[in-house]
Structure 1
Amino acid sequence: MGQADAPRILDVRTPAEFRGAHIPGSYNVPLDLLKEHRAELAAHLDEHVVLVCRSGARATQAEQALSSVPSALPQLHILSGGLTAWEQAGAPVSRGEAKWELERQVRLVAGSLVLLFILLSTILPWTKWLAGLIGAGLTLAALTNSCLMGMMLAKLPYNREKSPDMRDVIRDLTKP
């Protein structure tokens, strides 16, 4: 980020997702860490801030969390369409070890569970209701713009790469 007035880009995805691909010069501040330390983080961001995730949903949650701080940032922005739109526009991306994004993991787990429960319902008819519960959970996730299954999957060892320490994030943000 060579320009002095360039916005700070905070990527609120998991460390594994960030390591796989991110906007050059962006800072990884996972959503959970941002929510937990929002006041401390907001105190060190006195300029334009662009919040990024894969599609915009987690960035919206990050914006809400930072906006709830009494000294909230006046210049919070969300990258419309997230990293997906950024890549589709042909903008530069730093790539590392590719891992499945949380949304893709949710689709795999939810789809597999629905398929399993439907197949089981040929033997145990009551299991069709478990498939219905998965569908209800996905509907609720869409309506509330949050996903319990995604939050649970984020805690699995596959997704639990070392999360940045807030002291390190603030040190990096305040470097000249």
Structure 2
Amino acid sequence: MTTPHALSAHQVHARLHELTVLDVRTPGEYAAGHLPGALNIPLDQISRALPAIRHAAGRGDILVVCASGARSDSARGTLAEHGIDTATLAGGTGAWAASGHGLRHPERASRAPWGMERQVRLTAGALVLTGLGLGLVHPAFRLVSAAVAGGLAYSALTDSCGMAAVLAKLPHNRPRRGDLDAALAALLSR
């Protein structure tokens, strides 16, 4: 690849027509808004998608995208270990939208899914409140709240999120087999 490993939203916008864009967020996050033409290959499915990604990389540059850049950096590292050079969108879809570029939304009959950050906030808040409430019954339950607080601090320091990794495994965050197969077929046709 002749581009740096992190591209700004402006650089991506100028080159979008020549990039193969892989969105490594969960299907729910992807459905909430993604770059035009992006294919959804969730981070935990990258290994399965390696042959198709390798094929697409032989035909042009690959851009890996997530919400903020952390997961796309992880995906870029995994792909680099397999000899596939990619770039990431600095700041992710958040930076893309903040730069005034539109996000695409697939047609859905149901209401829009929640993004991973919102799911983490809800789960963390619910666990803290549960720990505090049960702490009225027995003080040891307050440790649940302390564990969540510690996990959030660790998450901020390491720019990773164990809770998001667990939530990504829930059924509404998993790709339907047909959706992933369609994304892989699209990569192979490029």
CA shift for structure 1 position 55: 1.2
1:68 aligned residue (81, 91, 97) = 81
Determine if the alignment matches structure 1 residue 91 to structure 2 residue 101.
Answer: yes
Find the counterpart in structure 2 of residue 54 from structure 1: 67
Find the counterpart in structure 1 of residue 31 from structure 2: 19
Find the counterpart in structure 1 of residue 172 from structure 2: 158
Find the counterpart in structure 2 of residue 140 from structure 1: 154
CA shift for structure 1 position 40: 5.1
SS of the aligned residue for 1:22 comes to coil
SS of the aligned residue for 1:44 comes to helix
* 1:24 maps to amino acid: P
In structure 2, list runs of 5 or more residues that go unmatched: 1-12
CA contact (8 A) 2:68 2:93 kept: yes
* 2:90 maps to amino acid: S
SS of the aligned residue for 1:142 comes to helix
What is the aligned-residue identity percentage?
35
CA shift for structure 1 position 169: 3.0
Change (3 A) 1:131 1:65: same
Runs of 4+ in 1 over 6 A off after TM superposition: none
* 1:48 maps to amino acid: D
Q: Render the CA deviation track for 1:95-123: whole Å, top value 9, x for unaligned.
A: 24421011110111111111221232233
Q: Render the CA deviation track for 1:107-161: whole Å, top value 9, x for unaligned.
A: 1111111122123223311112121111222223333433222122122222234
Find the counterpart in structure 2 of residue 124 from structure 1: 138
Q: How does 1:1-16 map to 2 (within 5 A)?
A: 6-16=18-28
User: What do you get for the CA RMSD once the two structures are aligned?
Assistant: 2.4
CA contact (8 A) 2:26 2:168 kept: yes
C-alpha distance in 2 between matches for 1:66 and 1:140: 26
Determine if the alignment matches structure 1 residue 105 to structure 2 residue 119.
Answer: yes
2:46 aligned residue (34, 42, 52) = 34
Which TM-score applies when normalising by structure 1? 0.84
Which TM-score applies when normalising by structure 2? 0.78
Q: What number of residue pairs does the alignment pair up?
A: 171
Query: Is the deviation greater in 38-47 or in 10-19?
Result: 38-47
